[in-house]
Structure 1
Amino acid sequence: MKKKSFWEYNAPADSSWTWKKIMRFRHKIRRFIVHSIGNGGKTMAWYDNWHPVGPLDVIISRRDIYTAGYSAQTTVVDIVQNGEWEVPDAWKDKYGMIFDVCPPLLIRDRNDVVLWKSKDNKLGHFKVKTAFSDLSADIDEVGWAKLVWFSQCIHRHSFVLWVAMSNKLRTQDKYMRVEMNNSLKCPFCLECKDSHNHLFLV
């Protein structure tokens, strides 16, 4: 079975909800994941982010890749030999922005390393805190955030409250959109289906 890049992989229809979500939003993290080249044997030449211009599949057409005799599994070591680009001469004219740059220095006894490139262009190992900060940089902070999250809060309570404030609780009224079930009743009043408004505002 041929190895396929995470960036071009299509999730099967029967994949889990979590995996489908990861596939849907992977483009948001692509620019943050950078490959530092060692021997070039584990980094995919076209799909991984190792070149200064970014992933090469965005620039080089798939037709050109296959016409030149390469494949999706081509690695960096396959296109860099003896300190020179090992690519068709026509590419050097057509894709000058790529091949005008000096190729990476390959070190035989050093493996490639995957790093996280933060929004301020600092390279380092992946950290959840850094990733969260970088990925949420474009999200506006809601005015009630500090009412939910504070130093003495009970985290599980704050989490439920945050979900409620975001109108994301799985209340009974939402199940009605999927299936008709008239037997559902609010466990407190037993008179009607529960909802965000019914639970927190009535």
Structure 2
Amino acid sequence: MYWSGKSIWVEWIYKRFLKKDTIWAVKAISEASWVWRKILKYRNEVEDVIMHIVGNGRSTKLWQDNWHPRGLLIKGFGDRIRYDSGLPHLATVEEILRDGKWHPTSATTLDLREAWGCLQSIHRLHYEKDDLVVWKGDPIGVFTAKSAWEIVRRRGRLVGRKQCGLKDETIIQPQDFPEELNSLVKDDAEFKVYNRM
């Protein structure tokens, strides 16, 4: 959905199922197709593999995209953090940036203090650049159906490994990231993908 651009299928999915929501928050409906139900079933398997690197913050959802060290803020803190911040459900990261610097709402609760407290440590693109969506399941950061299948398949195998008492994590090596990504992930030489089953 992030990489398909002007695909007719993606436009139809937005109009029919997502409307003004995101893939991470939308609820499954009974009349949905088998394919859409399967996409929703496996979305949690790839949630931590899609990473948003913030530039101007315009296309990254504040609460529902994986841009923050805690992952999706709405999942990490619950709906209450959104109400406490006073920012809307579909707010973008741009709403807590001013002139390229972090400028979040007042940290009136412990959850907001925790969320806003680590903003300075987040690696960002230049504030005049568009946000970047990176698929961490592929060494060059580009989505392919094959890499998505490998993640789902690998995690399925990990369930069996866990039952045998083996370690349940897989390391993804970012060997050939584009130059712009190399500087952003230099401190994170390995991406760990954990089994969530």
Does the TM-score normalized on the shorter chain lie above 0.5?
Answer: yes
Which structure is higher in helix share? 2
What SS does the aligned partner of 1:90 have?
coil
1:148-200 per-position Cα deviation (integer Å, ceiling 9, x unaligned) = xxxxxxxxxxxxxxxxxxxxxxxxxxxxxxxxxxxxxxxxxxxxxxxxxxxxx
Q: Does 1:74 align with 2:76?
A: no
Aligned residues: 139
Shift of 1:13: 2.0
Q: Does 1:38 align with 2:50?
A: no
Choose from 24, 37, 44 the match for 1:7. 24
Shift of 1:106: 6.3
Q: Distance in 2 between matches of 1:27 and 1:105?
A: 25
1:103-135 per-position Cα deviation (integer Å, ceiling 9, x unaligned) = 56464542212211138xx56111233333222
- Conserved 8 A contact 1:43-1:75: yes
Aligned to 1:112: 131
Give the structure-1-normalised TM-score: 0.58
Give the structure-2-normalised TM-score: 0.60
Equivalent pairs: percent with the same residue?
A: 28
Structure number with greater Rg is 1
Aligned to 2:38: 21
1:113-128 correspondence to structure 2 within 5 Å: 113-118=132-137, 124-128=141-145
Choose from 92, 95, 106 the match for 1:88. 106
Pair 1:78–1:58, CA change in 2 (3 A): same
Pair 1:123–1:72, CA change in 2 (3 A): farther
Q: Distance in 2 between matches of 1:24 and 1:46?
A: 21
Runs of 4+ that moved beyond 6 A: none
Uncovered stretches (5+) of structure 1, i.e. residues with no partner = 142-202
